[in-house]
Structure 1
Amino acid sequence: MKIHPLITTTEALAELCARLAKSEFVAVDTEFMRENTYWPELCLVQIANTEEAAAIDPMADGLDMSPLLDLLTDNEDVLKVFHAGGQDVEIIFNFTGRTPHPIFDTQIAMMAVSQSEQIGYSNLVESWLGLTIDKGARFTDWSRRPLTERQIEYAIGDVTHLSKIFPKLLARLVKTGRGEWLDQEMEKLADPDNYRNDPTVAWKRIKASGRNPAMLGRLKALAEWREHEAQDKNIPRGRIARDETLADLASHPPRQQADLAKVRGLSQGWKDNEIGRRLMATLEKAKPLPDEEMPPRAPKGAPLGKEGALVADLLKLLLKIRSREIDVAARLLARSEELEMLAAGVRKSLPILQGWRREIFGRDALDLVEGKLAFAVEGGKLKMTHVDDAAGAPGEPGAEPGSRAAAG
């Protein structure tokens, strides 16, 4: 594979992207810094196909990133391969308002061929290529210039390895027939709605107890205010105020600015500074959350109660058994909240009762809830047995044509 020198000119970038545009896929990775900023600062982009690889310096003077961004977001003929690519996709969306498409994430794909739910890149490389990654440059300051040869070599390695792993992983998916299981997951990763930064819905990310409209209205207003403050200053939102502080202010709003000095998480200066005045103005203008914005209530049948909780535990055991049987990550089959909803009597719109998930797991989960499936231990192994088959045919004691042996 040809490794190019660090790309710092628009001409070199355009030539590279013109060649890569003829590829079936490109492996992509980014290096960025976001510890001290609201917006992630893109410091390096690495890209490779099966023949060549390069690192691109987006901080180089005069470099126009358009050829690369167009390749990633406009070219539907080239598959974009990432590993744990959520933050990479977010950065590209921040630049363009678009996301890479079509997209493939090797971390997500590993869920369909193993029980790994969040396999790290180093473990991915070791398991597929038998190589050990040098982690020495992992926590480097990618914003410092000039970059060292070691930094560039480390960064390019991320995509050269990925370009070798992807065909092998794809072949495994084709062999097992599980490729279509991932279609929905990949589309979720590429959905622009996941990356739009809408301050008006920022409150939904904050944990707050209760459904009081006045309290939630204050929380919404405070969260939106914090987003704007952090964006204007380009600092992490937590440096304005922590989530817990906003929730406390929404639940127990101060009567006057001087009271801000008593709020945990705020300094004494808030009692008479400008940001404190803006916070108080936000609280004063806050309106109760309208009915149409209220968070949904717990599904009918919840809370589970003791018996329902036991059923949910059995469903989780069933999920664990099934994931081991077919060597797939449990989270790809079902989420805990779905199992609890099923145990609580919910049937409508549950992903585990639709499509391939119903065939692989949902049907048995439903049978378990309805008393048609039971657990048994035979020969030291846990087995799942359909109740109507457990007794066996007449004259054939112990016959269990409906049972499934769990992985031992």
Structure 2
Amino acid sequence: MKIHPLITKTDDLAALCERLAKSDFVAVDTEFMRENTYWPELCLVQIANTEEAAAIDPMADGLDMTPLLDLLTDNEDVLKVFHAGGQDVEIIYNATGRTPHPIFDTQIAMMAISQSEQIGYSNLVESWMGLTIDKGARFTDWSRRPLTERQIEYAIGDVTHLSKIFPKMLKRLIKTGRGEWLDQEMEKLADPEHYRNDPAQAWKRIKAAGRNPAMLGRLKAIAEWREHEAQGKNIPRGRIARDETLADIASHPPKQQADLAKVRGLSQGWKDNDIGKRLMNTIAKAEPLPDDELPPRAPKGAPLGKEGSLVADLLKLLLKIRAREIDVAARLLARSEDLELLAAGVRKKLPILEGWRYEVFGRDALALVEGKLAFAVENGKLKMTRVEDEALVQEASEASDGAANED
């Protein structure tokens, strides 16, 4: 494989992308910094196909990234391969308003062919190629220039290995027939809505108990205010105030600015500084959350209660058994929340009762809830037994014994 020198010129990048556009797939990775900023700062992009690989310096003076961004977001003929690519896709979306498509994530794909739920890149390489990656450059400052040869070599290695692993992984998926299991997961990863940053929706990421409209209205208002403050200063939102602090203020709103000094998580300075004044103005203007924005009520049959919780636990045990039997990550088959909803009596709009998930796991999960499936121990191992089948066997046995006695 040809490894190019660090690309810092637009003409070189355009020529590279023109060649890569003829590939069936490209492996992509990024290096970025976000510890001290609201927006992640893109510091390096690595890309490879089966024949060549390069690192691109987006911080180079005069470099136009358009050829690369167009390749990633506009070219539907080239599959874009990432590993744990959520943050990489987010950066591309922030730069273009578009996401790479079509897309393939090797971390997600591993869930369909092994019980690995979030396999790290180093373990992926070791598993598929028998190589141990030097992690020494992983936590370096990627924004500092000039980059060292060691940094560049480490970064390019991420995509050269990935370009060799992907074809092998694809063959395994085709052999197992589980490729279609991943279609929905990959489309979800590429969905622009997943990366759209709407400050008005920021409150939904904060844990707050209850459905009180006044409290949630305050939470929505101050969460949106925090997003704008953080964006304006380009600092992480947690540097303004932490989630739990906002939830506390929404539940117990201060009556005057001086009371902010008593709020856990805020400094004494908030009682008379400008940011404290803006926060108090936001609280004062907050409106109760409209009914159509309130979180949905718990579905009928929930909360589970003691018996329902036991049923949910049995479903989780069934999930572990099935995942082990077919060598697939349990998380790909079902989420804990869906199992709890099933135990609570919900039957509609559950992923485990639709499509391939129903065939592989949902049918048995439903049978367990309905008393048609039971756990048994055979030779020291847990297995599943269909109650109805056992009953038929028992009836047949009794009928046979009866006939023999008559004779």
TM-score by structure 1 length? 0.96
CA contact (8 A) 1:343 1:369 kept: yes
Which residue in 1 is equivalent to 2:17? 17
Distance 2:267 2:322 in 1: 52
Q: Deviations over 1:235-256 (max 9, x none)?
A: 0000001111111111111111
Q: How many residues align?
A: 398
Distance 2:317 2:224 in 1: 41
Deviation at residue 374 of structure 1 after TM alignment: 0.7
Could you tell me which amino acid in structure 1 is paired with residue 111 of structure 2? M
Q: Deviations over 1:249-301 (max 9, x none)?
A: 11111111111111111111111111111000000100000000001111110
Unpaired segments ≥5 residues, structure 2:
399-407
Which residue in 2 is equivalent to 1:403? none
CA contact (8 A) 1:217 1:286 kept: yes
Please list, as runs of the form range in 1=range in 2, the aligned pairs for 1:32-51 lying within 5 A after superposition: 32-51=32-51
Which residue in 1 is equivalent to 2:88? 88
Distance 1:397 1:44 in 2: 71
Could you tell me which amino acid in structure 2 is paired with residue 328 of structure 1? V
Q: Deviations over 1:80-121 (max 9, x none)?
A: 000000000000000000000000000000000000000000
Q: Deviations over 1:308-335 (max 9, x none)?
A: 1111111001000000000000000000
Greater CA deviation, 220-229 or 260-269? 260-269
What SS is found at the alignment partner of 1:70?
helix
Could you tell me which amino acid in structure 2 is paired with residue 70 of structure 1? D
Which residue in 2 is equivalent to 1:75? 75
Distance 1:88 1:267 in 2: 35
Deviation at residue 394 of structure 1 after TM alignment: 6.7
Distance 1:227 1:397 in 2: 70
Which residue in 1 is equivalent to 2:385? 385
Please list, as runs of the form range in 1=range in 2, the aligned pairs for 1:139-150 lying within 5 A after superposition: 139-150=139-150
Which residue in 2 is equivalent to 1:296? 296
Distance 1:380 1:218 in 2: 56
Q: Deviations over 1:44-64 (max 9, x none)?
A: 000000000000000000000
What SS is found at the alignment partner of 2:384?
strand
Distance 2:109 2:28 in 1: 16
Distance 1:213 1:87 in 2: 33
Could you tell me which amino acid in structure 2 is paired with residue 69 of structure 1? L
Which residue in 2 is equivalent to 1:345? 345
Distance 1:387 1:310 in 2: 19
Distance 2:279 2:379 in 1: 66
Distance 1:331 1:298 in 2: 23
Distance 1:163 1:38 in 2: 31
CA contact (8 A) 1:253 1:283 kept: yes
Distance 2:331 2:171 in 1: 22
Which residue in 2 is equivalent to 1:402? none
Distance 2:141 2:80 in 1: 26
Could you tell me which amino acid in structure 1 is paired with residue 284 of structure 2? E
What SS is found at the alignment partner of 1:361?
helix
Q: Deviations over 1:173-208 (max 9, x none)?
A: 000000000000000000000000000000000011
Distance 2:126 2:135 in 1: 13
Q: Deviations over 1:203-223 (max 9, x none)?
A: 000011121100100000000
Which residue in 2 is equivalent to 1:287? 287
Deviation at residue 379 of structure 1 after TM alignment: 1.4
CA contact (8 A) 1:46 1:155 kept: yes
Which residue in 1 is equivalent to 2:354? 354
CA contact (8 A) 1:99 1:192 kept: yes
Which residue in 1 is equivalent to 2:122? 122
Which residue in 1 is equivalent to 2:28? 28
Could you tell me which amino acid in structure 2 is paired with residue 250 of structure 1? A
Please list, as runs of the form range in 1=range in 2, the aligned pairs for 1:1-400 lying within 5 A after superposition: 1-391=1-391, 393=393
What SS is found at the alignment partner of 1:248?
helix
Structure with bigger helix share is 2
Distance 1:137 1:396 in 2: 69
Deviation at residue 393 of structure 1 after TM alignment: 3.8
CA contact (8 A) 1:391 1:397 kept: no
Superposed structure 1 runs of 4+ greater than 2 Å apart: 391-398
| Percentage of identical aligned residues | 87
Deviation at residue 392 of structure 1 after TM alignment: 5.4
Deviation at residue 396 of structure 1 after TM alignment: 7.3
Could you tell me which amino acid in structure 2 is paired with residue 218 of structure 1? R
Distance 2:86 2:122 in 1: 17
Could you tell me which amino acid in structure 2 is paired with residue 316 of structure 1? K
Unpaired segments ≥5 residues, structure 1:
399-408
What is the root-mean-square deviation of aligned Cα atoms in Å? 1.1
Could you tell me which amino acid in structure 1 is paired with residue 219 of structure 2? L
Deviation at residue 390 of structure 1 after TM alignment: 1.5
